[in-house]
Amino acid sequence: MIKSKPSRWQLPAVLILVTVQAGCAPTTVRRADYSHTALERTDFEQAFTAAEKVMRNQFGYVTCDQQTAVIEAKPTYFQEDTAGWLGQINLRRRGRLMLQRQQKQWWAYVQVVTERNDTQVYSQFQRQRHGLEYEVPTPLEADLNTTPAQRQVWTKIKRDRNLEAQILGRLREDLGLATPAVR
C-alpha cells in the first residue's frame, strides 16, 4: 500500500471548487410549499407589476425586489376567539409571492401563512423547565441587545390555501389569462 501526501494545492483547490458549485446551485422552489400557476404569454415586467398590485391590494404594504423577483407582504395582525377559557389569541398573516422562469414561461408561486404569537407561552415554559419557583430570565429576556419585535416567538399554524388561490386567480385575471390553472 503506497501512501502519498496530498500536495499543498489540492485541499484549497477542492474547497474552492465546492464553494463555487454551491454558489451556482439554482434556487428552485419546493412546489409543495407554494400554490403556483403558469403565466403563459407574459413577460417579466407585466407579471411583476401585476403581482405587486395584487399583493398590495391584499396585504397593504409590501416590499418588492425585482432582482430576485420576490414580493413580501408586511404581516397583518388580528385576533381570533378560541375555545372558552383560552380567550383570544394574537395571530398574524404573512404573504410571499415569487416569479420564476421555467419551461420558457413565467410561473407565480405564492404562500400565505398564519402564525400564532407564542411569546408568553414560550417564556412560561422556559421558567417551568428550570423547576424553580422564582422567575429566571428566559433567553428572550436575557438578551438585552434585541428589540421587543426580535424577542417575539411566532409559530406557524396553517397555510391559507384559499387565499393563495384567490391571489393567483386575481393575478391571472389582471394579466388577461384564463383563471383555472392554479396548483
**49-91 pLDDT, tens digit each:** 999 999 999 999 999 999 999 999 999 998 888 766 667 888 9
Mean pLDDT of 9-29: 52
Ordered domains of the chain (ranges, CATH): 30-118+153-174 (3.30.530.50)
> Amino acid letter at 156?
K
Is the model's pLDDT at 128 over the cut of 60? no
Whole-angstrom Cα distance, residue 42 to residue 46?
A: 6
Specify the pTM.
0.70
Mean pLDDT of 26-52: 85
Give the long-range contacts of residues 122-126, CB within 8 A, separation 24 or more: 122/153
Place of cell 409559530: 155
Task: Dig out the grid coordinates for 180 from the structure.
Answer: 383555472
What is the structure's pLDDT at 119?
73
What is the structure's pLDDT at 166?
95
What is the structure's pLDDT at 22?
47
* Residue 174 or residue 26, greater confidence: 174
Share of the chain above pLDDT 90, in %: 46
* Residue 129 or residue 76, greater confidence: 76
Q: How confident is the model at residue 4 (pLDDT cuts 50, 70, 90)?
A: low
What is the DSSP secondary-structure string of 13-82?
A: HHHHHHHHHHHT------GGGSEEEEETT--HHHHHHHHHHHHHHHHS-EEEETTTTEEEEPPEEEEEE-
